[in-house]
Chains A and B, each alone.
Chain A
Amino acid sequence: MSFLKGTVTLTRYRLLEIPAEATDEFFSERLKLNSFVDIENVPEESSLGWVEILNPLATSFEPPSFRFGGFWGFQIRLDRRRLSAKILNRYCLIEEAKILAETGQALKAKAKKHLREDLRGQLLPKVLLDTDLFEVLWFKKENEIWIAGAGEKKRLIFEELFDRTFGLRIRLIAPISLAFELIPKELGSALLKSQPSSFMIGEDG
């Protein structure tokens, strides 16, 4: 789901700290520093970083790629691969058997551990990567940030990368925080004291 596909799920955040200089240079520099690094041929399990919103393969972050009138837009890219223990064990057993046949000696625990790590490094790049992409929009005037996605996992991924990149405090927009923004000051106390009502027929309040 994404804006371009025409169906989107949103999570909204309020920015609690305003960057001192929200210039093109500020965004360009921060985004580049924390941009996505390709791990296609590298024995890494995951890579998390920013990519351009209209091109998930680009990380040059020239201002026209992220500046859109009233908002800035970027995309989070998370590539992951998982080598199952079952597959790794199988390759370890084959290699250990080969070594035993060649040397006549079984490997000791430490050597087994090294062999396992070596094999892991060789096998990992062969595992296909799973790519997750989700858009992030930052509305200037409203100090509001949207991520195109929901759920705790996505929220944590976004919060980690946002903190690492910008170091600014944000808070999820939920009914209670939104309520404080929408009601006049004099109703704040009534909101804090409010208790659930019952819609049950035959009951008051």
Chain B
Amino acid sequence: MPAEYPKDAVFIDLWQEKMFLGQEFLTWLWLASEIDSRFPGPNDLDVEVRFEKKIVLETGEGVALHQIACSSPDRDWSEAFLAVSLDKKIVKAYLTIFAMSFECLLALPADTLNPQVLKLIKGEEFGAGGTLSRTGRFLGQVNLALAVNGIIDRLFSQFLKIRLSADWEAKELPRLKAFIEPKVANI
């Protein structure tokens, strides 16, 4: 049985107060994917997650709040590793999800975790040669978006399972920090 959303909570207040959840999820997903890009996906099939193009990080509060974008066409990410090691939070990232039957590139903002600029790339062509009707193409794209959202929800669920357990501070955070440490040691 899922947990109940607190009835007396004002959504906007709780959303702001727990904004770090989405930021920590993206940070966890990025670092975990750099260690091992495969995650358990729906129907016991693994999915691969690869951060691409750009990671946007935020630091400070109020008037001191500012964002930095770390681009890395060759996925070197030195700047981003350094930023995270200085406790900057990931607020938006671009990633590719590779699943059994499709792959897609998307931007994921930490505040909503709703996919943006989701490019639906399918192994087989979506009626590009006129083989599928407009309705067929539309339904195919919706089904792909559903699959992508299902994967994101599942990854977030895996994160929450670790994040809300004693293992987060005892094992997972030290594991992630140990992975970053040598990458920033010589910067």
Q: Which residues of A does B touch, CB under 8 Å? A: 1, 3-4, 6-12, 53-54, 68-69, 71, 73, 137, 139, 146, 150, 171-188, 190-192, 194, 196-201, 203-205
Contact = CB atoms under 8 A, between A and B. Distances in A.
B18 interface: yes
A183 B153 contact: no
B134 A54 contact: yes
Contacts of B3: 179-181, 183-188, 191
Contacts of A199: 27, 84-85, 87, 173, 176-177, 180
Interface stretch (B34-42, B43-51, B65-73, B161-169): B161-169
10 contacts: A4-B134, A9-B115, A150-B112, A173-B113, A175-B21, A176-B14, A180-B5, A194-B18, A201-B85, A205-B173
B130 to A, nearest CB: 14
Given A3-B138, A10-B149, A179-B156, A194 B163 contact: yes
Interface string B97-112: 0000000000000111
Interface of A, helix, strand, loop or mixed by DSSP: mixed
Nearest to B134: A54
B11 A178 contact: no
B138 A175 contact: no
B25 A8 contact: no
A137 B173 CA distance: 38
Contacts of B147: none
A183 B164 contact: yes
Contact of B142 (A3, A9, A176, A178): A3
A8 B87 contact: no
Given A179-B21, A194-B164, A199-B176, 9 more contacts: A6-B126, A7-B120, A11-B114, A54-B135, A176-B14, A196-B20, A201-B181, A201-B184, A204-B169
